[in-house]
C-alpha cells in the first residue's frame, strides 16, 4: 500500500511554551529522543498535558520544535510545511467534508494532486475495500455512524499513500464497545497497508492492545520506550508502573541479588541493580498474587468480592493496602473479610524499582 516504509527519528527535541498565568516558559516536551522503526505501530501514551500530542503535532508540522531535529526516513523535516511532509493525520474530530459523499471525501487529496480520474477511482475503490466501506461510495457523511465516519477519515489518510500515518486520539468520540472493535480494525488495516503509524492516546489498554512499542511520557519527559509487555512487567519507575495497568507498591529491603524483605518476610524478587541493604519499592500486579493458608507474608482480608472470572480482594500487609485478583475462584478457597491469610506469589511476579 505505502510507497515506502519510512521510520521517524527525533533527536533532542524540545518544545517550549509560555504559561499564560505566570508568564514563565516551560517545557511541553523536553529533550525527546525517539526512534520509530519503518512499518511499526508506536503509541505515544500518557496523561493529559504530558506532551504526547505536542510531539505528534511536531512530527506532522503543525508545531515547530524549539530545539533538536526531526527526521522522516533520513530526511530532516523541521523546515517543511505539513503539506510537504510525507505524512497524513487522522484527527480526533474526523474533519470530514459534510457536503461531500464518501467517495469525494476520500478522493479529495488525490484531486488536489490532479491525478487522472481513472487512477483516482481505482485508488478510492481499493482503499474503501480495505477499510470495509465498499459499496457505500455515494453515502453522505452525515448518514454515517461514528465508526463509519472514522473509517472514512482513515481511508482519506491512507489513499494518498503517506510514508507515516499519524493518529491524534482517533477513537475518543466513540462509545466503549465501538472503541474496542475500531482499534482492532485500525491495527489490521495498518498491518495490511504495511505503513508506519504513530498513535496518540491516554488510554493504556488501547495502547497495549495495538502497539509494537509504547512511548510513555510524563510532564514532557519520555519515561520509557518498550514493548507493552516490558512496560507492564519491567517498568522503569513508579510512574510507569502506576500508569500501565494497576499496581501495588510494597516497601521492602533488598536482602541480596534476588531476595527482598517485605514486612519481616523474605521473598524472591527481580531486583535489577539494587544492592543489599537498600530500601526499595516492590511492584506487585493484582493478578500476580493469591491468598493461601500457609506462607511467609501475612495478610488480613478487608474486602472480598466475587467478580466472575476472579475474586477481588483488598488485604492489609502491615499498614499497606494490597489489591489482589485471584482468577478462577471456583477452584479456590474464598476468604472472607476479617480472615487471616498469607500472600502466595507466582514465579517472577515481584519487581523492585
Residue matched to cell numbers 494497576: 246
Which residue range is the domain that position 171 belongs to? 8-238
Same structural domain, 218 and 337 = no
204, 238, 272 — which closes off a domain? 238
215, 238, 261 — which closes off a domain? 238
Same structural domain, 226 and 275 = no
214, 238, 262 — which closes off a domain? 238
CA angle, residues 96, 167, 157, in degrees to nearest 5:
50
Side by side, which strands form the sheet with 87-90? 87-90, 164-168, 196-201, 41-45, 213-218, 221-226
Determine, yes or no, domain membership for 3: no
Determine, yes or no, domain membership for 108: yes
Same structural domain, 213 and 279 = no
The ranges of the chain with pLDDT < 50 are 1-2
Tell me the per-residue pLDDT of 260-284, one tens digit each, with 9 for 90 and over.
Answer: 888 888 888 876 666 777 888 899 9
How many domains would you assign to the chain? 2
Q: What CATH number does the domain containing 314 carry?
A: 2.40.50.140
Determine, yes or no, domain membership for 2: no
Beta strands in the chain (DSSP E): 8-18, 25-36, 41-45, 67-72, 75-76, 87-90, 164-168, 196-201, 213-218, 221-226, 248-254, 259-262, 265-268, 279-284, 289-292, 297-306, 310-317, 320-327, 340-345, 351-352
Which triple of cell numbers denotes residue 74?
533520513
Tell me the per-residue pLDDT of 160-192, one tens digit each, with 9 for 90 and over.
Answer: 888 999 999 888 877 888 888 888 888 988 998
Determine, yes or no, domain membership for 119: yes
Determine, yes or no, domain membership for 169: yes
What pLDDT score does 52 carry? 95
Q: What CATH number does the domain containing 146 carry?
A: 3.40.50.300
Same structural domain, 204 and 102 = yes
Determine the 3-state secondary structure of 18 from DSSP: strand
Same structural domain, 166 and 278 = no
Entry pTM: 0.86
Amino acid at each position: 500500500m505505502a510507497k515506502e516504509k519510512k521510520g521517524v527519528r527525533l533527536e533532542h527535541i524540545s518544545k517550549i511554551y509560555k504559561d499564560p498565568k505566570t508568564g514563565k516558559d516551560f517545557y511541553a516536551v523536553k529533550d525527546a529522543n525517539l526512534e520509530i522503526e519503518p512499518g511499526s505501530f508506536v503509541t505515544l501514551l500518557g496523561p493529559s498535558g504530558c506532551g504526547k500530542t505536542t510531539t505528534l503535532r511536531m512530527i506532522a508540522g503543525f508545531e515547530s520544535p524549539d530545539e533538536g531535529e526531526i527526521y522522516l526516513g533520513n530526511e530532516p523535516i523541521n523546515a517543511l510545511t505539513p503539506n510537504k511532509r510525507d505524512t497524513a493525520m487522522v484527527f480526533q474530530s474526523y474533519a470530514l467534508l459534510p457536503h461531500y459523499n464518501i467517495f469525494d471525501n476520500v478522493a479529495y487529496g488525490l484531486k488536489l494532486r490532479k491525478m487522472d480520474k481513472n487512477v483516482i477511482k481505482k485508488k478510492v475503490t481499493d482503499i474503501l475495500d480495505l477499510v470495509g466501506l465498499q459499496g457505500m461510495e455515494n453515502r453522505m457523511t452525515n448518514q454515517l455512524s461514528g465508526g463509519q465516519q472514522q473509517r472514512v477519515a482513515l481511508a482519506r489518510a491512507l489513499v494518498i499513500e503517506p510514508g507515516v500515518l499519524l493518529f491524534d486520539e482517533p477513537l475518543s468520540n466513540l462509545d466503549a464497545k465501538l472503541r474496542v472493535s475500531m482499534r482492532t480494525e485500525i491495527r489490521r488495516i495498518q498491518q495490511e497497508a504495511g505503513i508506519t503509524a504513530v498513535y496518540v492516546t491516554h488510554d493504556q489498554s488501547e495502547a497495549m492492545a495495538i502497539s509494537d512499542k509504547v512511548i510513555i511520557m510524563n510532564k514532557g519527559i519520555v519515561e520509557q520506550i518498550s514493548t507493552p509487555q516490558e512496560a507492564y512487567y519491567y517498568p522503569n519507575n513508579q510512574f510507569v508502573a502506576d500508569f500501565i495497568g494497576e499496581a501495588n507498591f510494597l516497601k521492602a529491603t533488598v536482602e541480596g541479588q534476588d531476595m527482598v524483605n517485605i514486612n519481616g518476610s523474605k521473598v524472591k524478587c527481580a531486583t535489577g541493580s539494587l544492592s543489599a541493604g537498600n530500601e526499595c519499592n516492590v511492584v506487585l500486579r493484582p493478578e500476580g498474587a493469591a491468598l493461601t493458608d500457609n506462607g511467609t507474608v501475612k495478610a488480613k482480608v478487608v474486602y472480598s468480592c466475587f467478580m466472575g472470572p476472579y475474586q477481588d480482594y483488598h488485604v492489609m500487609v502491615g499498614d499497606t493496602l494490597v489489591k489482589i485478583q485471584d482468577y478462577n475462584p471456583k477452584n479456590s478457597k474464598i476468604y472472607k473479610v476479617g480472615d487471616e491469610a498469607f500472600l502466595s506469589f507466582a514465579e517472577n511476579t515481584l519487581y523492585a524499582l
